[in-house]
C-alpha cells in the first residue's frame, strides 16, 4: 500500500507485442494518457516494446510517474525502458510480480498473451485467497477478452469459481471509465495488503 506522498498507483499488464489491431495500441496510449493526466503512477513490466512501451510512453508524455520492473532474463527481449522514473531489474518473474503488486493500488490488464494472462490470474488468485482487496480491471478492447470471460462464467456455472470472485474483476472497453472505477473501488477497500505470503 502506498504512503500519502506517493501518487495513486496502477499496475498495468499488457503485451510486449502490438497485436494485429490498431485499436489495441490506441487503447494502451489512451490508458497511459489518462493515468498521466491524473498525475498518477504507472507500474508495469519495464519494457519499451509493444503495448508495454506504448502505455509507458503515453503516461510519461502526459506527466505521470512510471515505475518499471523487469527480470534480468527478459531485459534484452523486452528492451528495458531507460526513460522511466524507476527501472528495477530483478532476478525472477516471481519477484517482478510481487514488486509490481507491492507498488500498486489497482490492477488493469490490456490485451496480451500468456504472460499477461498469467499475471492477471495470479493477482486475481491472490485476491481470492485474501492477500489483497484491491480492484482488478480488464480493458476489453474490441471484444478481445469476450471468450475468456465466457469461459470464466462457465467456471462459475460448473461450481469452480464463485460469482463473487467473478464479479471482482471489472470489465470495460473505456480506459477512462475503468480508471475512475478502479480509483473508487481502491478508496473503498483501503487497509493494508500483505504480499509477504505469496
Give residue 74's pLDDT. Answer: 81
38-75 burial, b at 16+ Cβ within 10 Å, e below that, comes to bebbbbbbbbbbbbbbbbbbbbbebebbbbbbbbeebe
Taking residues 2-7, report their average pLDDT: 64
Please, are residues 86 and 80 in contact by the beta-carbon 8 Å criterion? no
Taking residues 30-55, report their average pLDDT: 97
- Of 3.90.79.10, 3.40.50.450, 3.90.1200.10, 3.40.50.300, the CATH number of 9-186 is 3.40.50.450
pLDDT band at 190 (very low <50, low <70, confident <90, very high): confident
Taking residues 173-182, report their average pLDDT: 97
- 3-state SS of the chain is CCCCCCCCEEEEECCCCCCCCHHHHHHHHHHHHHHHHCCCEEEECCECCHHHHHHHHHHHHCCCEEEEEEEHHHCCCCCECCCCCEEEEECCHHHHHHHHHHCCCEEEECCCCHHHHHHHHHHHHHHHCCCCCCCEEEECHHHCCHHHHHHHHHHHHCCCCCHHHHHCEEEECCHHHHHHHHHHHHHHHCCCCCCCCC
Q: Is residue 3 pLDDT above 70, yes or no?
A: no
Q: Is residue 4 pLDDT above 60, yes or no?
A: no
Pairwise CA distance, residues 196 & 167, whole Å:
26
pLDDT band at 75 (very low <50, low <70, confident <90, very high): confident
Q: Is residue 2 pLDDT above 50, yes or no?
A: no
Give residue 6's pLDDT. Answer: 79
Q: Is residue 73 pLDDT above 90, yes or no?
A: no
Pairwise CA distance, residues 83 & 93, whole Å:
22
Please, are residues 107 and 134 in contact by the beta-carbon 8 Å criterion? yes
Q: Is residue 175 pLDDT above 50, yes or no?
A: yes
Q: Which of 63-77, 119-133, 143-157, 160-174 has the lowest mean pLDDT?
A: 63-77
Q: Which of 4-18, 66-80, 156-170 has the lowest mean pLDDT?
A: 66-80
Q: Is residue 86 pLDDT above 50, yes or no?
A: yes
Give residue 189's pLDDT. Answer: 83
Residue 127 or 191, more confident:
127
Cα–Cα distances in Å, from 170 out to 24, 107, 108, 125, 138? 18, 10, 9, 15, 6
Show me where the domains of the chain are located.
Answer: 9-186
Summary mean pLDDT of the chain:
92
Amino acid at each position: 500500500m502506498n504512503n500519502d506522498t506517493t501518487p495513486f498507483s496502477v499496475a498495468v499488464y499488457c503485451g510486449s507485442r502490438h497485436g494485429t489491431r490498431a485499436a489495441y495500441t490506441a487503447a494502451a496510449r489512451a490508458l497511459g494518457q489518462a493515468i498521466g493526466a491524473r498525475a498518477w503512477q504507472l507500474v508495469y513490466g519495464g519494457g519499451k516494446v509493444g503495448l508495454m512501451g506504448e502505455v509507458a510512453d503515453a503516461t510519461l508524455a502526459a506527466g505521470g510517474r512510471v515505475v518499471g520492473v523487469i527480470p534480468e532474463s527478459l531485459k534484452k527481449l523486452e528492451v528495458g525502458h531507460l526513460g522511466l522514473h524507476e527501472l528495477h531489474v530483478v532476478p525472477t518473474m516471481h519477484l517482478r510480480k510481487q514488486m509490481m503488486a507491492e507498488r500498486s493500488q489497482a490492477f488493469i490488464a490490456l490485451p496480451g498473451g500468456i504472460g499477461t494472462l498469467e499475471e492477471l490470474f495470479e493477482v486475481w488468485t491472490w485476491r481470492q485467497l485474501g492477500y489483497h482487496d484491491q480492484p482488478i480491471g480488464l480493458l476489453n478492447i474490441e471484444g478481445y477478452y469476450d471468450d475468456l470471460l465466457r469461459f470464466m462464467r462457465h467456471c462459475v456455472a460448473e461450481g469452480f469459481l464463485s460469482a463473487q470472485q467473478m464479479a471482482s474483476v471489472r470489465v470495460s472497453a473505456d480506459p477512462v471509465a475503468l480508471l475512475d472505477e478502479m480509483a473508487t473501488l481502491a478508496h473503498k477497500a483501503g487497509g493494508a495488503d500483505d504480499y509477504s505470503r505469496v
